[in-house]
Structure 1
């Protein structure tokens, strides 16, 4: 079925089953932790970010801004980030979770152990788990990274809007065959990122996303995480 095209070049209009398209994108998206070195063509990257611009935001403020690297720009960032992170602790610009409790702790642990089992990290081997964690700062070998910042004056709601943008961006990437991983770990090195890219004081660093083409033969990409049931997430009030 032919789709119409909007004024900004995005295909819109009738499809056979829009919910099935969305379900497929959601079901097949995962956090990629090993990438091929080949770059994504610039027109495809531009398409991904053009699609993401359709994301919702409060009063249509669109508080996000994005820095995207390729080629030598990625390598300079990767090398500098890894060197900086090896000698500095976490310094987020938004407070990270103070603690994970109950089911949230359980889900976090389950996800972590899936990764460790996939890559052969034994339970209790803290050196090996630290090495795997440090791959965040090598961007898991990705040829591109995007740094999302939000308007500092909009506070938590600007961060929420930028989080919505992040989710839209991940689905846009999946629709184009581009693998991604959203990384709060990158935001933990905000002082370096701010200086490296010359980010203005009126912006706050929210998250990074490494992206490219997945190395499907790498064991880190061999598993998928589960999702809670609807009954665990939704409370119905019918009367």
Structure 2
């Protein structure tokens, strides 16, 4: 079947959003109005999931709710160790280490952190738990019994959320770092023990004047990621 102009236009729009999407690491203090946040969440709700289980449940903060959560979490991380519900990567080797380091160097270079400056590096790491100044945070959880596939479905939800935010002119930062303090988050938001914290998202209006928002990460060429079998 020949591709229609409509199909081509839709794909071009999706391609543009995917190409232009970036991780925002500095936000303005301006709140996003409730109707816009609900529009974004409604889009993400269209995400497909295994057997249509829709395992994601989302806590969203705004206003004083964000400020209080930020303060309490910062206080908590001063004395508590990491306790994620899902194991973090054991190690990064080969190309995965190279890509991770390249991203880190771009980030640190953008804000003038020299290699080996552990004090400034640690300060930048803590910015994760300040939500990069974002006025809103979303905490995404999945039902524990659904295991890794519930988490995968939440990852699909995340992609739709991120593309929706890009389409609305908002900035967003998906953060595994927040999930590293899962017991605290569950307790703070009264989330049942039967749910696992998968990730958080800081979001709001991006501060486009801040240098940390000016770099973009690269993507590997298709031939590095795809193997074709045609016979």
Give, in angstroms, the shift of residue 16 of structure 1.
Answer: 5.9
Partner of residue 219, structure 2 = 227
Aligned length: 226
Partner of residue 54, structure 2 = 62
**Partner SS for 1:181:** strand
The separation in 2 between residues aligned to 1:86 and 1:34, in whole angstroms, is 22
Deviations 1:18-67 (A, max 9, x none): 11100110111111000000000110000000000111111111100000
Alignment of 1:205-216 (within 5 A): 205-216=197-208
Correspondence for 2:228 among 219, 230, 236: 236
Partner of residue 3, structure 2 = none
Alignment of 1:51-130 (within 5 A): 51-130=43-122
- Structure 2: 5+ residue runs without aligned partners? 1-5
The separation in 2 between residues aligned to 1:130 and 1:232, in whole angstroms, is 33
Correspondence for 1:158 among 150, 154, 163: 150
- Structure 1: 5+ residue runs without aligned partners? 1-13
Alpha-carbon RMSD across the aligned residues, in angstroms, is 0.9
The separation in 2 between residues aligned to 1:89 and 1:24, in whole angstroms, is 40
Runs of 4+ in 1 over 3 A off after TM superposition: none
**Partner SS for 2:84:** coil
Deviations 1:105-162 (A, max 9, x none): 0000000000000001000111110100100000000000000000110001111111
Partner of residue 189, structure 2 = 197
The separation in 2 between residues aligned to 1:172 and 1:218, in whole angstroms, is 22
The separation in 1 between residues aligned to 2:100 and 2:81, in whole angstroms, is 21
Correspondence for 2:139 among 130, 138, 147: 147
**Partner SS for 2:57:** strand
